[in-house]
């Protein structure tokens, strides 16, 4: 029902080709109402090359919402309200991330701000990634002490957006 969600900065209606153009190779479950654009540039060939160089690639389920693109319209950032987004983190993914967090030879690189919000919302008391599912309305902005993300691959972000504030 509806039309393919495309980034609002395109300022045009969705086209039939957008059904392919704005779908990541990670997509498996219905539920997102916006494309997780940071993952759009990954191809099977690129993922193969990354894993051939020794990196592990793990996934989680994200139902990106339109609220991610809502501009901040308040001066006091404590008054901005994020909309909730659903996520699921498998035991396999949580275990792999936690191994990397304690390893001196590995690190954690996350792809996309929505992944950051999900993982930073699913922490154990020991500040490790917890497997499970839930909803997050976390607004990550300076100053913030990241617990999971050591690096972030992301995309373009609009001025006054919560996504740009996270990157800051």
Alpha helices (H) along 56-137:
91-102, 113-120
Q: What is the 3-state composition of the chain as percent helix, strand, coil, each rounded to the nearest 5?
A: 30, 15, 55
State the first-to-last Cα distance of the chain, in angstroms, to the nearest integer. 36
Q: How many whole angstroms separate alpha carbon 27 and alpha carbon 32?
A: 10
For residue 151, the model assigns a pLDDT of: 93
Which strands form 132-136's sheet, in the order they lie side by side? 61-63, 85-89, 132-136
What percent of the chain has a predicted confidence (pLDDT) above 90?
Answer: 52
Low-confidence ranges of the chain (pLDDT < 70): 1
For residue 131, the model assigns a pLDDT of: 98
For residue 98, the model assigns a pLDDT of: 97
For residue 5, the model assigns a pLDDT of: 77
| Residue located via tokens 């050591």 | 150
For residue 132, the model assigns a pLDDT of: 97
Cβ 12 vs Cβ 4: under 8 Å: no
For residue 1, the model assigns a pLDDT of: 63
Cβ 85 vs Cβ 117: under 8 Å: yes
For residue 51, the model assigns a pLDDT of: 94
Total-model pTM: 0.86
For residue 101, the model assigns a pLDDT of: 95
Q: How many whole angstroms separate alpha carbon 50 and alpha carbon 140?
A: 28
For residue 63, the model assigns a pLDDT of: 87
Q: How many whole angstroms separate alpha carbon 69 and alpha carbon 8?
A: 8
Cis peptide before 165 (omega within 30 of 0): no
């Amino acid at each position: 029902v509806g039309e393919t969600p495309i980034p609002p900065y395109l300022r045009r209606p969705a086209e039939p080709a957008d059904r392919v153009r704005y779908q990541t190779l990670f997509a498996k479950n219905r539920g997102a109402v916006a494309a997780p654009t940071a993952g759009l540039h990954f191809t099977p060939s690129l993922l193969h090359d990354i894993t051939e160089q020794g990196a592990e690639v793990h996934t989680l389920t994200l139902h990106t919402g339109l609220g991610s693109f809502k501009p901040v319209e308040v001066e006091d950032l404590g008054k901005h309200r994020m909309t909730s987004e659903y996520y699921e983190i498998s035991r396999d993914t949580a275990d792999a991330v936690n191994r990397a967090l304690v390893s001196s030879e590995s690190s954690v690189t996350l792809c996309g701000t929505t992944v950051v919000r999900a993982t930073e919302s699913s922490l154990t008391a020991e500040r490790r990634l917890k497997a499970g599912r839930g909803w997050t309305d976390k607004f990550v902005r300076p100053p913030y002490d990241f617990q999971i993300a050591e690096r972030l691959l992301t995309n373009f972000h609009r001025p006054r957006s919560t996504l740009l504030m996270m990157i800051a």
